[in-house]
A and B are shown apart, each in its own frame.
Chain A
């Protein structure tokens, strides 16, 4: 009896197996046709088609677009204008003064993004490092604290921006705290400096958990007996931090810094929802310029947007190469 029970249980229909069998007929036919050894190409095909259609072909088109003018979307209807779009982008009295440029919004975006990236990356890496160091200590409830710092990473940029917009609005929680302490209400988003401050603050708030996690993983990979050896040598904690922990963490720091730079240069969504790029153009980033040049304005200036994209792409390419170089160096040591 037991035998047939077991057999019945194990022969229960398996929907996955059935689905696989259904697709097996055509796939087996393909395998017969081209041979077992060429099957990897079949498996690779869908992914390659997607990459071709949505990455490589667009990249080519992007180059072509940047040399064409007009507002038509289809390449055949776009006149070739040579380097004109790049000429417009770089038509500046001085690149240090966006108002002297033909495309002043582009250069505002460049300036804002540069300022944003430098400040945001510096502070974020610093806070991430401190948080990782603290979380790496003998802390009770470490998993909980790690989760708390990490949670905002998962929130969508729109949600992040709205959470802070609500707190920072005129009658919001922060102004309530300020008035309780005897201060005056501040309307943050009509002041360029405050707008930039909160753009940076919110983006650090949203992303530092991710970098903390990477640094924490790096810290936990440092073998504990190194510290015991240092202690035998009579090393004081601060010295151990500076001479053991930080040097050993350096490869992870590089990864974090470059990654944060790459992401920072592409900053768009949180800031866009939080400030809309304003007041004026005070928090307008390059990506917002590209988006608006191509889609938001009536002009639909795809050529100019593509030229700006290519410029941004070059910056990202250089940063990625830097990362690969550092990675190789790290793997080699």
Chain B
């Protein structure tokens, strides 16, 4: 097992710079997920680590050894491709044995490793089949098996679940999670699906346009996003972002005006707010409580109600707020056109400055009122 360090890694394709100076340390045994919208450079970064692309500048270090100029075949990594890239002319057994034969392992050792991996992945009955004769999930497991048998320093996964249907994806997600628990290897996993990132990762790296937006444990990213991009990217349904303006500063408190005539009194985080500042209030749908009485922050009109049984989603709007999502656990029977009175949970409010950088999270922003 191994550590990995990226030092100021960049990559340009012709005139296009796709990776802008990435620094990252991956610890031994970590499950790191690169997540971001398509085109953010996450796959390129993975291919740079794999050695399938050469960085334009910077260093890639594995276990303290600079491998920047080492070809892919000599880095001792294994990769699971989005397309699986199974060799169509080889049986499942040969697919898994190919890499081991290339390492020059004796035949008995090859056979031992392949049969063991096949047993783990429930592929024993399919060892003789060609990839063509397998289901999507089975192909996926062969691709993973091909990586496991190699016992690589680091596993690289490039959107491995994106070709599976929804049900299979959930099942494979669980398998990959339990696999990591079993082999405790270092894994770098690329996905555009933040649910996969949240459920699998020990640490998530959020990428946008070739830059790292934030690195952290899933719940850290969820609870304390560094900026509006991470805040809205992590979490489903996404966090509501409400534009607001600081109208008055009163000692440690700040009064924010939003949604044509509504006001919110908050603590002034570190005294950094001044009257007239434009800010964004972030509140996740599950932190908007529907109340009948007492202090109401905002009254909204329901545009669409989704009753899922275990929980209920309301897609609402209010004057000055185009869209606001509310999530209630259980069943709350309201219909389109109804009015909801909302109160935001103060300890889950997020405040972002005009550039989208986080000013305060939860309790820090709240004042006892």
* A residues with CB within 8 A of B: 2-3, 6-7, 9-11, 17, 21, 35-36
| B91 contacts the other chain (CB 8 A) | yes
Q: A3-B115, A35-B71, A36-B73 are in contact. Are A10 and B125 (CB under 8 A)?
A: no
5 residue pairs, one from A and one from B, having the closest CB atoms:
A10-B93, A6-B127, A36-B71, A6-B128, A3-B124
A4 to chain B, nearest CB (A): 8
Inter-subunit contact B111/A11 (CB<8 Å): yes
Q: Encode contact with A along B110-124: 1 for CB under 8 Å, 0 otherwise.
A: 110011000100001
Residues of A contacting B115 in the complex (Cβ-Cβ under 8 angstroms): 3, 7
Is the C-beta of B107 less than 8 angstroms from some C-beta in chain A?
yes
Given contacts A3-B115, A36-B71, contact A10 B128 (CB under 8 A): yes
Q: How large is the interface on B (under 10, 10 to 19, 20 to 34, 35 or more residues)?
A: 10 to 19
Selected A-B contacts with CB under 8 Å, 17 pairs = A3-B124, A3-B127, A6-B93, A6-B125, A6-B128, A7-B93, A7-B111, A7-B127, A9-B128, A10-B92, A10-B94, A10-B127, A10-B128, A11-B93, A21-B101, A35-B71, A36-B73
Chain A residues lying within 8 Å of B97, measured Cβ to Cβ, are 10-11
Chain B residues near A21: list those with CB within 8 A: 101
**B137-152 interface bits toward A, Cβ cutoff 8 Å, 1 = contact, 0 = none:** 0000000000000000
A6 to B123, CA, bound (A): 11
Residue of B nearest to A36 (CB): B71
Please give me the residue from chain A that is nearest to B107 by CB atom: A11
Closest to B73 in A: A36
Q: Which residues of A contact B73 (CB under 8 A)?
A: 36
| Bound CA–CA A9/B101 (angstroms) | 17
Q: What B residues does A7 contact at CB under 8 A?
A: 93, 111, 114-115, 127
Q: Output the least CB separation between A325 and chain B (Å).
A: 32
The CA of A288 and the CA of B124, in the complex, are separated in Å by 68
Give Cα distance in the complex from A11 to B94, angstroms.
8
CB A64 to nearest CB in B, in angstroms, measures 44
How many Å from the CB of A197 to the closest CB on chain B?
54
Instruction: Give B353 Cβ to nearest chain A Cβ, in Å.
Output: 47
Min distance, Cβ B101 to any Cβ of chain A, angstroms: 8
| Cβ 8 A contact of B125, one of A2, A9, A17, A36 | A2
CA separation between A17 and B128, bound complex, in Å?
Answer: 17
In the complex, residue of chain A having the shortest beta-carbon distance to the beta carbon of B102? A24
Shortest Cβ distance from A47 into chain B, in angstroms?
24
Contact B107 A10 (CB under 8 A): no
Note all chain A residues with C-beta closer than 8 A to B91. 10
Distance in Å: Cβ of B113 to nearest Cβ of chain A = 11
List the A residue with the shortest CB-CB distance to B119.
Answer: A3
Q: Interface centre among A2, A9, A10, by most B CB within 10 Å?
A: A10
Q: A6-B128, A10-B92, A10-B97 are in contact. List 8 more A-B contacts (CB 8 A).
A: A3-B115, A6-B125, A7-B93, A7-B114, A9-B128, A11-B107, A11-B110, A11-B111
Instruction: Tell me the bound Cα distance from A21 to B110 in angstroms.
Output: 16
Give Cα A2–Cα B94 distance, bound, in whole angstroms.
Answer: 17
Residues of A within 8 A of B111 (CB): 7, 11
Q: Which residues of B contact A10 (CB under 8 A)?
A: 91-94, 97, 127-128
Q: How far is the CA of A22 from the CA of B107 in the complex (A)?
A: 16
Smallest CB gap from A21: residue in B:
B101
> Are A6's CB and B124's CB within 8 A?
yes
Q: Which chain B residues border A2 with CB–CB below 8 Å? A: 124-125
* Residues of chain B contacted by A3 (CB below 8 angstroms): 115, 119, 124, 127
Question: Which chain B residue has the least Cβ–Cβ distance from A35?
Answer: B71
CA A147 – CA B157 in complex, angstroms?
52
User: How far does the alpha carbon of A22 sit from the alpha carbon of B119 in the complex, in Å?
Assistant: 32
Q: How far is the CB of A179 from chain B (nearest CB, A)?
A: 63
Residues of A within 8 A of B119 (CB): 3
Q: Provide the bound-state CA to CA distance between A36 and B72, in Å.
A: 9
CA distance A6 to B94 in the complex (A): 11
- Give the complex CA separation of A7 and B107 in angstroms: 11
Which B residues are in CB contact (< 8 Å) with A11?
93, 97, 107, 110-111
CA distance A139 to B124 in the complex (A): 53
In the complex, A179 Cα to B137 Cα: how many Å?
Answer: 78
Provide the B99-112 mask, 1 if CB < 8 A to any CB of A, else 0: 00100000100110
How far, in Å, is A5 (CB) from chain B's closest CB? 9
A37 to chain B, nearest CB (A): 8
User: Nearest Cβ in chain B — how far from A9, in angstroms?
Assistant: 6
> Once the chains are docked, how many angstroms separate the CA of A302 from the CA of B230?
80
Distance in angstroms from A10 CB to nearest chain B CB is: 4
CB distance from B82 to the nearest CB of A (A): 23
Cβ distance B124 to chain A, nearest Cβ, rounded Å: 5
Residue of B nearest to A14 (CB): B94
Chain A nearest CB, measured from B307 CB (Å): 49
Query: Across the interface, which residues of A come within 8 angstroms of B127, CB to CB?
Result: 3, 6-7, 10
Residues of A within 8 A of B71 (CB): 35-36
Q: How far is the CA of A17 from the CA of B91 in the complex (A)?
A: 14
Q: Give the distance to chain B from A34, nearest Cβ to Cβ, in Å.
A: 12
Q: Determine how close the nearest CB of chain A comes to the CB of B7; give it in whole angstroms.
A: 23
A76 to B111, CA, bound (A): 64
Chain A nearest CB, measured from B129 CB (Å): 9
B125 (CB) vs chain A CBs: closest residue: A2
Taking CB atoms, residues of chain A closer than 8 Å to B92 are 10
Give the Cβ gap from B331 to chain A, nearest Cβ, in Å: 50
Complexed CA–CA distance, A17 and B119 (Å): 26
B115 to chain A, nearest CB (A): 6
- Scan residues 76-95 of chain B and give those whose CB is less than 8 A from a CB of chain A: 91-94
Of B114, B127, B128, most buried by chain A (CB within 10 Å of CB) is: B127
Interface centre among A7, A9, A35 (most CB of B within 10 A): A7
CB-nearest residue of chain A relative to B104? A21
